[in-house]
Structure 1
Amino acid sequence: MSHVIDVANREVKLGFRNPWSYSFLILFCVFSLSLLVINSLNVVEGYSGTTSSLVNLILYLLPLMTLFIGSFSLTSEKEDGSWQLLSTYPLATSSFILGKYLGLSCVLLTIVSFGYGLMGLISGFVGNSFSLLTYGLFILFSCGLVFMFLTIALFIGSVCKNRWQALTISVSVWFFSVIAWPTLLIAGLSFVPYTWVQPMLSIFTLLNPAELIRLFVVIKLGGGSVLGPEYYRWVQWIQQPVGTWIIMAIIIVWITVFLLMIHWIWERRRYRG
């Protein structure tokens, strides 16, 4: 456990020296504050134009930030030779991967917390503040994106040899999971029989963390009607109190599976070169 903490502390120090972190922090603060200023002076509650715009903003920015920072962290270990040195120490691969994950999570959550704190502070002054429930859902939304996309980022960093490969794959994953997802989903479902649409839609949604977390937040904000009849069952079970716990269980399973795959890749590389 001490090795995990050591790796996590090292990652936190490196993360706060990374200019990417501060660039995304500035972008997040500027765009979120801009949304608050241009909207009318009232309390934002439930699903509205403001919350919809903020969901899209977070969905575009946060996964990309997480993919870059997470994948570059592991590829830099290979390029700089740090992993070759660390592998000679009595450091378990599991401690290295878990420490990396925890350290990067702390860095990303600190950035998110600062952005939300600044947004909440200024929104209180301008009079366009969020209700407590809405604010809490946005924090959960951001944390879920960070936790799930960070595992994807570490997987990308594990299979890529350098930062350029990680950059290319990270942008591709972000584009297909966030930007092109609705088009790809409609195109893919058009080739299956109608009776398969519902189960295939559920499977595809579970495979895309951006869409899964977005559906959860939109439904919890009361915007389930905008999703269409295909998501009727999703609206039903997510609106129930147990829906939050099911989503949390899915996130935990997702994180566990990806971390086990990442561990296998690094363990194999450690002994086979």
Structure 2
Amino acid sequence: MNHFTTIMKRELRIGFRNPWAYSFLALFVIFMLSMLLIHQQGYSSGYSGVTGMLMNLTLYLLPLITLMLGAFSITGEKEDGSAALLYTYRLSMTSWLGGKYIGLLLVLISIVTIGYSVTGIISSFTASGFTASVYALLFIFAVLLIAAFLAIAMVIGAIASTRWQALTYVIGIWFFFIIGWSPIMIALLGQLPYLWIKPLLTIMTFFNPAEWIRVYIIAALGGGMIVGPEYYQWITWVTHPSGHIAFTLLTIGYVLGSLALAGWLWKRGRYRG
């Protein structure tokens, strides 16, 4: 536990000294303020066109930044020799990887919190803000994306040897999950009998955290009709009281599973030299 805390604090120090973090903060604040200026129709009580635009832009921005910062954190230690030094210490993989994950998670959540706080303070003086419930769900949306994609970033960092190699993986995974997912699903499922589409889409959605988080938040905002009849089972599940618990367990399981895979890949790479 002591090692875990030490590594977490180290990641916090490095993270808040990283100029990338402040560049991301400035970009995120500008992005949030831009959405606030667009939203001129008064308070939004649920899912609206502007809410959807904000979610989509968040979906493009946050996973990419999270993947880059998380993967570079690990590959940077490989390049500067810090990773090799870790092998000389009696340090468990759980403490090291868990400490890095939690430290980076706190840095990224802090940046998002500042961005939402600045926007919230400014919106309180205008007549074009979001309601508190919508604002809270949008914040939860951002935090969940960070948690899921930071775990994926740990896997990328365990596989990649250099920052350039990690960047290649980051762009490929980001493009697949965020940009290419819908057309790929349409192309694949379009070749199957109609009765197979809904169950297969439900199963395949479990493999893309961006998709299930997006559907969950849209349903929570009352915009379930937007995602189409193919996601009827998901909307029914989310709106059920037990759906929130199941969704939480799903997210936690995905994060822990990704971290376990990252740890296994790191050990495998170590023994292979």
TM range (shorter): over 0.9
Counterpart-to-counterpart distance in 2, 1:117 and 1:241: 29
Contact kept, 8 Å, 1:75 with 1:162, in 2: the verdict is yes
Which structure 2 segments of 5+ residues have no match?
Answer: none
- Which stretch of structure 1 is more off in the superposition, 164-173 or 36-45? 36-45
SS in 2 for 1:257: helix
1:33 Cα deviation (Å)? Answer: 0.6
Contact kept, 8 Å, 2:38 with 2:50, in 1: the verdict is no
Counterpart-to-counterpart distance in 2, 1:35 and 1:267: 44
- Which stretch of structure 1 is more off in the superposition, 172-181 or 59-68? 172-181
Mapping of residues 1-273 of structure 1, within 5 Å: 1-40=1-40, 42-273=42-273
For residues 124-152 of structure 1, what are the alpha-carbon distances to aligned partners after superposition, in whole Å with 9 as ceiling and x for unaligned?
11222221211111121111101110111
Contact kept, 8 Å, 2:67 with 2:149, in 1: the verdict is yes
Contact kept, 8 Å, 1:41 with 1:126, in 2: the verdict is no
1:80 Cα deviation (Å)? Answer: 0.5
Counterpart-to-counterpart distance in 2, 1:142 and 1:175: 18
Q: Which amino acid aligns with 1:267?
A: K
1:235 Cα deviation (Å)? Answer: 1.2
Contact kept, 8 Å, 2:159 with 2:266, in 1: the verdict is no
SS in 2 for 1:125: coil
For residues 200-231 of structure 1, what are the alpha-carbon distances to aligned partners after superposition, in whole Å with 9 as ceiling and x for unaligned?
10122110011110000111111111111111
Counterpart-to-counterpart distance in 2, 1:269 and 1:39: 49
1:257 Cα deviation (Å)? Answer: 1.0
In the superposition, the TM-score normalised over structure 2's length comes to 0.97
Contact kept, 8 Å, 1:36 with 1:123, in 2: the verdict is yes
Q: Which amino acid aligns with 2:89?
A: Y
Tell me: CA distance 1:265–1:226, structure 2 relative to 1, closer, same or farther (3 Å): same
SS in 2 for 1:76: helix
1:44 Cα deviation (Å)? Answer: 2.0
Q: Which amino acid aligns with 1:172?
A: G
In the superposition, the TM-score normalised over structure 1's length comes to 0.97
Aligned length in residues: 273
1:244 Cα deviation (Å)? Answer: 1.3
SS in 1 for 2:125: helix
1:41 Cα deviation (Å)? Answer: 5.2
- Which stretch of structure 1 is more off in the superposition, 118-127 or 65-74? 118-127
